[in-house]
Amino acid sequence: MLELIHRDKNSRARLAIIKTSRGQINTPCFMPVGTQGTVKTLSPAELIEAGAQIMLSNTYHLFLRPGMDVIKKAGGLHNLISWHGPILTDSGGYQIFSLALLRKISDNGVEFQSHIDGKKHTFTPESVVGIQEELGSDIIMPLDECVHYPCSRDYAEVAARRTIAWAARSKKAHRGEGQRLFCIVQGSSYEDLRRACASELIDMDFDGYAIGGVSVGEPQKLIYNITGMVAGLLPEQKPRYLMGVGLPEDILEGVESGVDMFDCVTPTRYGRNGSAFTSEGKLIIRNSPYSEDFRPLDSECSCYACRNFSRAYLRHLFNTDEILGLRLVSLHNIHFYLGLMKGIRKAIQEDKFREFKREFLARYMKAGSRKNNAH
């Protein structure tokens, strides 16, 4: 599934191509999150124009709404949402643990009540794989047990053992031709549990390996330590996916550790709240200093928002609750993230990743700090 193109000479960063039945993905890559079959406020055409190669959707949400009957009648998720590139679907495990009204976890699976209408459902490793096969997912994530931080070692061990057992059942149940099945390494902040989990999953030989259970409340340094340690254990010839980690500085750290794939709701969530990511740091467009600022959000960006509109106009849109404002900043943020990944790939190809990272962060973090202090 993965073809290694180049390894950076000065770090563990790597350039690769992930092959799917719906096209190739150049990595390192960022996957815009379309939880319910849409990247909020943006059309598939806008995502393609921004450079998106793959999008992520969520099994839990799609199973509840619009439901599998509707998706099957539409001919699968790709047809329903008019996105014809690769789709990775998360298992919905995290959403069950964080959103469901009531849930009961056992070795068999998870019984839960919908956060929408309270109806009871059961997800097992087998049913979750089956749902994603019916969705037509190009990359399937198995059911796992994600724990929050801090977590006792005893509970983290139970969850990791359960995740391993569920992964084995998911692999046995997987039938979808051309649909790749990944697995998820758990173990919370405990290095020995992470190592044991990774070892058993590697022996099962999955199509790709995800690092789960990070960015769930732990300090940034711990996230980086876990990512670096686990990524170093994973097979060279398989994709490595860091789940739900997505600030620019976090992505750069993950790439340096050898991670290939990233996803996060951050660019669109921040965009809807008026926060723009720029080459000179994060910018809060609602702030009064931008009321007469007729520059684009980012002079180095070529997105539709930056080509056509000023900070002053965008601030006006947000302060009058106009939908166009949150659309434009979300669009810009997706462009920024995908542009960052393009720059990362170029730097790896030239064996200049660490130089790229250092220069990017020096400008991004310094300027962002200056803006925050000023406003």
The answer to whether the CB of 334 falls within 8 A of the CB of 268 is yes
Instruction: Give CA–CA dist 98/93, Å, rounded.
Output: 9
Of 138, 144, 260, 263, the catalytic one is 263
Would you call 90 a catalytic residue per the annotation? yes
Would you call 207 a catalytic residue per the annotation? no
List, in sequence order, every beta strand (DSSP E) within the chain: 2-7, 14-20, 23-27, 29-31, 55-58, 87-90, 103-105, 110-113, 120-123, 139-140, 180-185, 208-211, 240-242, 261-263, 275-278, 281-284
Residue identified by tokens 């660019």 is 267
One-letter amino acid at 321 equals D
Which two tokens mark 188?
Answer: 């919370």
CB-based contacts of 172, cutoff 8 Å, min separation 6 = none
Helices (H) and strands (E) in the chain, counts: 15, 16
Instruction: Give CA–CA dist 180/54, Å, rounded.
Output: 14
**DSSP 8-state symbol, 29:** E
User: What are 62's strand-pairing partners?
Assistant: none
Of 90, 138, 250, 260, the catalytic one is 90
The answer to whether the CB of 262 falls within 8 A of the CB of 246 is yes
Instruction: Give CA–CA dist 143/121, Å, rounded.
Output: 14
Report the length, in residues, of the chain: 375
User: Which one, of 201, 175, 177, lies nearest residue 187 by Cα?
Assistant: 201
Instruction: Give CA–CA dist 349/13, Å, rounded.
Output: 10
Active-site residues, by number, are 90, 263
